[in-house]
């Protein structure tokens, strides 16, 4: 069983006099910096000069400075900029200003695990990875609870790396919900697999194929949309709250029998074999090399071209109309 921690098992004392430099002020940077500040910790924000979020961070009450200066002044350098620019920013601004005894911290382990950033030898290297988007990290904190995190220490050079990791997680509010110990390797491989095979890639592909199956059989696309996409959230919410068995107990008997007997016909051994192939391509570095190559050649067009294709799909055209009907004031 993985080691876990709750809020009452952790103290902020080991880091209360340390300065946390949050690098980046996007969705995670914004949420985590504000949670840490509201927890009474010393926070500064490091941004590229001229960044569109510079003024927002200042308005939120933060001391804002360049990434280089924030690295010099900080004790814990918490890197929350997008994955694909971390190596460049580290090489140009963080690395030259990172001195012995500091902590280099992340919320995703890819840059260290895959060597995008060569691990410096004289600092702690740690990770606190909230299992939810930044908006939820902030929202649950303000509600007096938190978003759970997985935590890891890659390198402990000071003997206090775990104190720093757990203190950071407590300050973010994650310890209120619970912390789970992991490794940098495990976090990257499971995170990427979940995104590709299940949460994003697998789920979206399943929905599109289900929609096409119904429409090609002559059913109205609006009805197909509701049956295979709109109602999915209701089921996922039940699974998250009550587990898979709890979901089965809360749907109709017909849905229960039909799902239990026909689900394995769709998600069969061939699908599992393909999932194993996806995992293997993550583990052996194939996906990492492909992603780096694509991004270097095409930038954001590496994925935008796929999204543009999906925008033209009937499920997206119908979906826009259905969502406008249900939520006329919302903007996509």
126 bridge partner residues: 105, 153
- In the set 108, 113, 230, 313, the catalytic residue is 108
Residues 124 and 102: their CA atoms lie apart, in Å, by 6
105: annotated binding-site residue? no
Neighbours of 15 (CB within 10 A): 24
Contact assessment for residue 192 and residue 283, using Cβ atoms and an 8 Å cutoff: no
Rounded to whole angstroms, the Cα distance separating 212 from 42 reads 53
Residue 191 is assigned to a ligand binding site: yes
**DSSP 8-class letter at 63:** E
* Residue 306, marked binder: no
Give the position of tokens 């016909």.
265
Q: Is 231 annotated as a binding residue?
A: yes
Does the annotation flag 195 for ligand binding?
yes
Annotated binding-site residue? 26: yes
Active site residue 113: no
66-71 long-range contacts, CB within 8 A, separation 24+? 66/93, 67/23, 67/93, 67/94, 68/93, 68/94, 68/96, 68/97, 69/97, 70/21, 70/23, 70/44, 70/45, 70/46, 71/21, 71/23, 71/46, 71/97, 71/98
Helices marked H in the chain: 27-38, 54-59, 67-73, 83-89, 110-113, 134-142, 161-172, 174-177, 184-193, 201-216, 221-225, 232-250, 253-266, 269-283, 286-298, 301-311, 314-326
Q: How is residue 108 written in tokens?
A: 């995703």
Q: What are phi and psi of 78, to 5 degrees?
A: -100, 105
Q: Write out the binding residues for Mg(2+).
A: 191, 195, 227, 231
- List the catalytic residues: 108
Q: Write out the binding residues for NADP(+).
A: 25-28, 48, 51, 53, 134
Q: Write out the binding residues.
A: 25-28, 48, 51, 53, 134, 191, 195, 227, 231, 252
């Amino acid at each position: 069983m993985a080691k876990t921690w709750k809020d009452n098992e952790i103290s902020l004392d080991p880091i209360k006099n340390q300065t946390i430099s949050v690098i980046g002020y996007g969705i995670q940077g914004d949420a985590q910096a504000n949670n840490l500040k509201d927890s009474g910790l010393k926070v500064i924000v490091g941004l590229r000069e001229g960044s569109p979020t510079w003024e927002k961070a200042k308005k939120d009450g933060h001391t804002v400075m360049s990434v280089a200066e924030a690295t010099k002044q900080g004790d814990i350098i918490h890197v929350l900029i997008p994955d694909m620019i971390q190596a460049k920013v580290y090489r140009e601004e963080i690395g030259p200003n990172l001195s012995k005894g500091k902590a280099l911290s992340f919320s995703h382990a890819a840059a260290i695990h895959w060597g995008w950033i060569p691990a410096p030898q004289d600092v702690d290297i740690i990770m606190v990875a909230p299992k939810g988007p930044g908006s939820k990290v902030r929202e649950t904190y303000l509600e007096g609870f938190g978003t759970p995190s997985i935590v890891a220490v890659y390198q402990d050079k000071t003997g206090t790396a775990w104190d720093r990791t757990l203190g950071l997680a407590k300050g973010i509010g994650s310890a209120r919900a619970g912390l789970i110990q992991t490794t940098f390797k495990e976090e990257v491989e499971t995170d990427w697999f979940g995104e590709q095979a299940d949460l994003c890639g697998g789920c979206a592909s399943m929905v599109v194929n289900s929609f096409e199956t119904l429409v090609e059989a002559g059913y109205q696309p609006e009805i197909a949309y509701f049956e295979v996409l709109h109602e999915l959230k209701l089921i996922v919410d039940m699974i998250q709250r009550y587990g898979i068995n709890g979901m089965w107990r809360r749907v109709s008997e017909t849905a229960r029998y039909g799902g239990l007997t026909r689900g394995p016909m769709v998600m069969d051994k061939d699908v599992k074999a393909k999932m194993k192939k996806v995992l293997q391509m993550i583990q052996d570095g194939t996906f990492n090399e492909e992603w780096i190559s694509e991004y270097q050649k095409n930038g954001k067009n590496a994925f935008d071209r796929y999204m543009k294709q999906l925008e033209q799909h009937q499920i997206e055209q119908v979906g826009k109309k259905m969502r406008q009907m249900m939520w006329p004031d919302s903007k996509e």
